Amino acid sequence: MNIIGIIAEYNPFHNGHLYHIEKIKEKYPNSLIVLVLNGYFTQRGTISVLSKEDKTKISLNNNIDIVLELPFIYGTQSSDIFAYNSIKLLNELKVERIIFGSESNNIDLLNKIVDIQLNDPTYEDKVKEHMNEGNNYPTAMRKALNIEEDINNPNDLLGISYIKAIKQINPNIIAETIKRTNDYHDIESNDSIISATNIRTKLNNEEDITNYLPTYTIEYLNNITNDSLFTLLKFKILTDKDLSVYLDVDEGIEYRILKYINESHNFDELISNIKTKRYTYNKINRMLLHILIGLTKEDNKNCTIDYLKILGFTNKGQEYLKTIRKEITLPTTPPKDSLIFKYELKSSYLYEQATKKSLNNFDIKNIPIIKKDQ
């Protein structure tokens, strides 16, 4: 039996995600799939249109055998941190392969890039040099690598981070790609498989989205954006004594935040007002989320994964967990003083505030969802 690992946010779960799982099952019919799932907020710092609990239920109904939680602290950081901790969790469950979507579908190129990043001692200095020239991180990375290929695609960039983490944690894990069938930046396509960004845009515009995602996903959707939390963010910014203590608030950007907060009426306006060439939209989005939830640089520095949260499993997944139980090094219950769990609960409270639904019991009770065989 092949133990396959995948990493996803399912914001929302759509036909492209279904295609990804189907292609894995087509190539590895006897596989067991372990999913590391980002929860209430995404790596780009946006609120999810599906709750963590609902994403778990949908996953288990679509050939996922075990669902693991990616903690908020690591799920809302840079791609390298997001990837490293996702791979670390999958390695705990002894996965043999990681399969991810890729625009280029060129695993050799992605491996070549990672080898340069890990083995060229001047690489990080080159990136810093290009960033000091005013380039954002993806552009600085491409210049430092001195390659002609366009790697400024979200899934390829994330794939590079996955491969790097694999080489650092367990080089025996095999990385594979599946060709991504849509453009992340395309918000106009009406193909049956379109990006999650496109679907969320249509959802916000109250357009029909029934052709783009399974019908069972629709009943779980929350039509929300970060703007549902903007008033709370504004209060936090205007009443806090020192914004510089929060994660990602660097180089005096807190002064730009304070300058423009009263002139802005929503997240997009605020981000557009404070954005510079050096700070990408996503980085600022994450920064504002960290301010809102109160994630300090000090707490982030003191954090380490101290438990393995199993959100759900099938009968097949449960049997597999029994076979590797003695090899799992992390507890499945959060320690009482866990900073990771503290911020996970805070993220659930924020999500409750945005959706006006009672959700945090799923985190407090720590009882996995079990999908029984039909």
What are 268-281's pLDDT values in tens digits?
Answer: 999 999 998 778 89
For the chain, the average pLDDT equals 93
Task: State the amino acid at position 54 in one-letter form.
Answer: D
Distance of CA 103 to the CA centre of its chain: 17
Count how many Cα atoms sit within 13 Å of the Cα of residue 26 in the half-sphere of its side chain: 7
Question: Are the beta carbons of 6 and 209 closer than 8 angstroms?
Answer: no
What does the domain layout of the chain look like in residue ranges? Answer: 3-225+304-371, 227-300
Q: What pLDDT shows up at residue 136?
A: 77
Q: What pLDDT shows up at residue 166?
A: 98
Instruction: Determine the Cα–Cα distance for residues 131 and 335; give it in Å rounded to an integer.
Output: 39
Instruction: Determine the Cα–Cα distance for residues 272 and 280; give it in Å rounded to an integer.
Output: 10
All residue ranges of the chain with pLDDT < 70 are 182-190, 374
Integer Rg of the chain from CA: 20
Query: What does the CA dihedral 199, 204, 210, 216 come to, rounded to 10 degrees?
Result: 90
Question: Are the beta carbons of 58 and 50 closer than 8 angstroms?
Answer: yes
Of 164, 162, 199, give the one whose Cα is nearest residue 184: 199
Instruction: Determine the Cα–Cα distance for residues 236 and 199; give it in Å rounded to an integer.
Output: 31
Of 109, 107, 111, 105, give the one whose Cα is nearest residue 181: 105
Task: State the amino acid at position 311 in one-letter form.
Answer: L
Q: What pLDDT shows up at residue 113?
A: 92
- Antiparallel, parallel or unpaired: β 32-38 and 66-70: parallel
Rounded-to-5 percentages of helix, strand, coil across the chain: 50, 10, 40
CATH of domain 3-225+304-371: 3.40.50.620
Instruction: Determine the Cα–Cα distance for residues 357 and 369; give it in Å rounded to an integer.
Output: 19
Task: State the amino acid at position 307 in one-letter form.
Answer: Y
Tell me the per-residue pLDDT of 71-108, one tens digit each, with 9 for 90 and over: 999 999 999 999 999 999 999 999 999 999 999 999 99
Instruction: Determine the Cα–Cα distance for residues 55 and 52; give it in Å rounded to an integer.
Output: 5
pTM of the model: 0.93
